[in-house]
Structure 1
């Protein structure tokens, strides 16, 4: 713990804090003073935290500090892992809590400054999912996310550019290294010259190496010219294909240019445009208007508090619950008519969606067509600027076709020659195999003869000597080429060193006075910054006091305005009641019967009399119904008996009729049987 305090005191006494503490004075600080020291350190990391602790509520201070520490990824020690205990210790200025935070912050101030700077741009705003369902808000949020990602990439590129810069010390080191390499190369060149001087005809070999290099450079230039001509030929073929395609399109357009086809095409375009104008575009316009009205309504409303948001959440939950209940009731009812209508509605919605999708595809195709036409016009203008003509004429087209045909015949001839060469290559390959076999047989015979004569190995020795001589000649050629290459490399290095020195010399001359000027400006900047910080701290404290006073006065003003409006409303209500009472008194006391009829008492008396007369009539009607109830019930029973009797007679009549028809059928069957007998 003592080491931790020593480190904290040492860092606080250094720049930019300059607190002049020792262990005793730092340990004897009051909680409010300790919190102020912590706030000063946080203000050094994030300038927005530069406030006076005494002018801020403890809860606000704790909330602000906890938010910043969470953003800086600070983790409390194991004994204070509980969030409530850590927050309580931060509010009360507990020494172990504050000391641990200061020790953690002062260890990594530059890193935390960078993190706090980046957090202002990289901490994404949390938008509820309900708001993201709106298209405008969703598009704005996506743009915001894209801007955050763009800031990340730009910041990385900036850091790479800062770290990849070359300093004068690095340039000097490079120059010294190149000079050392130059000395080494000079020494190697001298050694190679001494070794080559003993070889015969070395001057002739150097001349031949120079000629070989010139021929290689010429070969490279010729191959480059050949590639350029191939590219020009390919571009000409591409222009020919484009011209042929344009000619084909124009011919097709001319072939289809009939009145019927044109009218049909125009009718289709008119239908599509009418659909776009009458159905699609008004719907989109109406949806945009609704969105704008909704956003204007949201902007016009005052900012909601946490309680209002909770209340709205509760209302939304209740509405969702009622919707779910209604859906369940509808599913339980399961009306077949509704099912049929649902099927038709689904089919209609599917057709509408397909129609809208096709309209969108048509719109995209039109945009692509317009873009293609613009691109074609641009390319035509470019071709007109380069070649002078927009479209290839007929004579040029014939000439190009003739060239193409001639090239086709040449291509066929070359293919035939290639086939002949392949066949000849196969024959030569077979001849080589036969000759190799014969050579192996002759070699075996030669070895057997050498063994018989007692000179075995003579041919191998002779071949080895020939190979050694060939290798020696190749090495001599390589030495000549290497010497020439080394001399060229030395010249290039000398020229590069001279160029680097000439380029760096004026920069070094300009850098010396600039360094001195930079030191003077840095010292002046530090002095001005100290003055600015002291003045800004005083002005900030005065501003916070004035803001607090203005806030209290505004609250008092708002309370008095609310009280005034409430009293004014009560006064108007009482005046209306008094006016109605005076009018009622005048109407009741007035001698005019028409005015007295308008009085509330007379109206109520009239209504009471009407209701009493109506009740009297209803009671008389009830008495008549009670008196006639018994005879009516009896008569209804007699009618029911009569109805049953008539039904019984009908059934008997139907049964007798059916029996008579059956007997008649049986009698007719008997007569038929007698006739048959």
Structure 2
């Protein structure tokens, strides 16, 4: 893309929502000062993340660069962040800011989602020294758990959005499926009509259906074989992993015989792991308890349920009916009052009743309006509370039945947590006992090893006991592994034998059907031979006919070309005839003019006289122009000299006037 096209794209996107900066031309944008360019970049970054809404005039240049570059790096802008890039960025160089603006504006929708995810998923770097604190480590673990929860929730939401199907699409799919259903029904009906007279069709259909069933069973057996093979590979992998762990434990035990500190470190690592698990479970339990407390508080809030709304609507309907009845009675009374007025008697009583009814009607109307307002406010409050709950808790408001299920699940988790906590406490007590036992064993082991070293040094066989124990352990491990491998190979061979036996049985069952299929294939081959013979004859006849058609077509094309040439020749002759006739008509008119029977025009009697007068006029004009040309050529030098004299005189007058001023 050219530079002008890139600038045009930038200006168009800056003038469009949500920026709407109103640049009238590319020149206006290109003449912006460096600080204005940086302000535009900061405004775009503010759209992506509101924390960039700062006053750049009061911000240090280094802080501005650090803030913007960190954010565009998170967004994925490709840059080297060298010293030259920093200087150009700080100084507002167009070579750096224009590509950045183009990238931000073109990818703005995608960058919005990336900036939204970055607010929650950018890793918070904590120094390793601070991680030694248990509280900091616990908080950091909770932070990572929340990040993983956010990732899973966002992925699930995106999948739901992508998998959501519009009702119009569903209707269109249903209509298409109904059309396809009708077509299939018509095809099935036509197929049944075609095969109604075939007596062997039912037998062939049964055989083919059984064959398809056997093929499906064979495919299922193949899938089962693959699944068993994968399970075998998984078991072998688990066996290999267990063997490696066993070897590592034996190595640790062997090292512990030489260095008891190694076994102590292993036990301490296990205790630390159990403690970490306990802390994680405690944190999860605290989170669940807080969620339970918040849910209980939310449930204790007096909410307006569907029954309350239904009662309010029923009351409102009753009030409407009462108002309508009162209005009808009021109208009847007013009519009666009008009748009495016309008669002139008993008006005061009815007027008083009408006023009372009007006041009562007004009071009821106000009451109805108040009830409607209360209902609307209650519905709005209910929606707002549900929205706040969903925004704060991350899921929709739980009904009483859902909350009961949630509470039961939470009680189960609490019970499991208590069991795990008791197990951890028992493990801690066992760990303390093991530590004391370990100390005693270390003391005894040190004494035994010291005595063994003295004996080995005495007889000259230092390290013999340790080497012999390691050889025995290695031989035992090898024999156990060989035994497991042999049993697994035997099981695998049994499975393969069963599969082969089942395949042979299926082949024997399918042998008669295969014979029938072979006979059908032979019939099909014979039919194909007849078809190929007929097709060859048809192609030969078609080739002869095509050859004859081509010959006739070539003859027709030649005749058409000759006809076209003759037609063009006739048109040419016709045009010549028209021209000759016009010349003859002109000659006839000239002859009549010469004989005196008519005149060519008012000025000239004949055409020849008109041509002669025109020629004479042109000759006179030519002579006049020649005389004028001669006059101009003779007076050219004199007039040029005169012009030069006038120009000199004009300059002298200008100089003279300038000296006088």
Given the two structures, how large is their TM-score scaled by the length of structure 2? 0.31
Given the two structures, how large is their TM-score scaled by the length of structure 1? 0.30
